[in-house]
Amino acid sequence: MSDGKVTLAAGGRRAGIRGKMPIFATAGPVSFWMMIFVLLPLIYVFVISFMTRTQYGGIEYSLTLDNYKEMFDPLYLKVIWKSLKLAFFTTVICLVVGYPLAYWIASKPSKLAAKLLMLVMIPYWTSSLVRLFSINLLVMPNGLLNAFLMKLHIISEPLDILYSDGVVMLGLLVAMLPFSVLPLYSSIEKMDKSLIEASKDLGANSVTTFRKVTIPQTMPGIVGCTLLVFIPSLGMYYVPEMLGGGKVMLVGTLIKNQFLVTKNWPFGASLAILLILITLAMMWLYTRIGKLDDLEVC
């Protein structure tokens, strides 16, 4: 009797481990990876953001809120404000430029549409740095753009637009545009086209139909696009560095400098936490409108 029980128990336990084997083998590695390389480091960033920097760039483990207070220095507030402003305008322009293009692509037969989307993506397989440098060459005082405009007698002397906010935004736009077209395309393509016809049959004109039917129907794409453009724009440090010279400082560069130049980890970490909070706020907004799985990132 007792023997039977023991074997049964042992068998039960073995079945338990064997039953869990497939879970360990499949979900195990990814869980491990995410915990070690994503969650743990982010928790560490959070902890460090409350620590004190020592004189020589080390970290002293004593709690402080100074790093967050430092953000309210007018100098840094200006940087944060400018980053938010540039990211906002980049996002708006990406939406305004990308939406009609996505709509146009979605109106084509699916095979052609796939090719047209490919055509949007091809430039992004070249180094983004080389492309940005091309923009740099284009807008330089003796660059192609100025030569062209002067030949047409639109301007009489070269525009000095290199190293301005406008050019940084142009760079962000070039870097971000395809990522706005993709989510917009997929939501426009999924939209039920008969709704537009129904709206027109019911007497609405094109503008009303667009405002009342098309936009609400493609909202997930619009918010997805906002998410995929606004957040990366905040952290893109090489765009302002290349096109803004030393003149345009954005929060991405500020964070990078805390780690690679001035060695002030705690302050850099607190800025990173600020970016994470902005991201979370936008994600929250997104989940109110669409599902995370719908986020067409690919």
CB of 69 to other proteins, least distance (A): 20
Question: x/- site string to other proteins, residues 38 to 57, per CB under 8 A?
Answer: xxxxx-xx--x---------
> Binder to other proteins among 113, 143, 190, 196 (CB under 8 A)?
143
> Binder to other proteins among 8, 92, 122, 281 (CB under 8 A)?
122
> Binder to other proteins among 71, 95, 113, 140 (CB under 8 A)?
140
Token pair listed for 246 = 């030393």
293 in contact with other proteins (CB under 8 A): yes
Q: Which of residues 260-289 bind other proteins (CB under 8 A)?
A: 260, 265, 268-269, 272, 275-276, 279, 282-283
Determine the Cα–Cα distance for residues 226 and 88; give it in Å rounded to an integer: 9
Determine the Cα–Cα distance for residues 248 and 221; give it in Å rounded to an integer: 31
Q: Which of residues 59-118 bind other proteins (CB under 8 A)?
A: 97, 100-101, 104-105, 118
Q: Please identify, using beta-carbon distances, which residue of 7 and 206 lies nearer to other proteins.
A: 206
255 in contact with other proteins (CB under 8 A): yes
7 in contact with other proteins (CB under 8 A): no
DSSP for 187-202, written as a single string = HHHHS-THHHHHHHHT
Q: How buried is 45 (Cβ within 10 angstroms: 0-12 exposed, 13-18 middle, 19+ buried)?
A: middle
Nearest to 104 by CA among 116, 96, 87, 90: 116
Token pair listed for 182 = 């993709």
The amino acid occupying position 251 is V
Count of residues in contact with other proteins, rule CB under 8 A: 81
Q: Please identify, using beta-carbon distances, which residue of 6 and 292 lies nearer to other proteins.
A: 292
Q: Are 285 and 219 in contact (CB under 8 A)?
A: no
Q: How buried is 96 (Cβ within 10 angstroms: 0-12 exposed, 13-18 middle, 19+ buried)?
A: exposed
CB of 224 to other proteins, least distance (A): 11
DSSP single-letter state for residue 153: T
CB of 273 to other proteins, least distance (A): 9
30 in contact with other proteins (CB under 8 A): yes
28 in contact with other proteins (CB under 8 A): yes
Q: What's the first-to-final CA gap in the chain, in angstroms?
A: 60
Q: Which of residues 170-229 bind other proteins (CB under 8 A)?
A: 174, 177-178, 227
> Binder to other proteins among 7, 126, 208, 262 (CB under 8 A)?
126
In the chain, the DSSP E strands lie at: 52-53, 59-60
> Binder to other proteins among 82, 190, 256, 263 (CB under 8 A)?
256
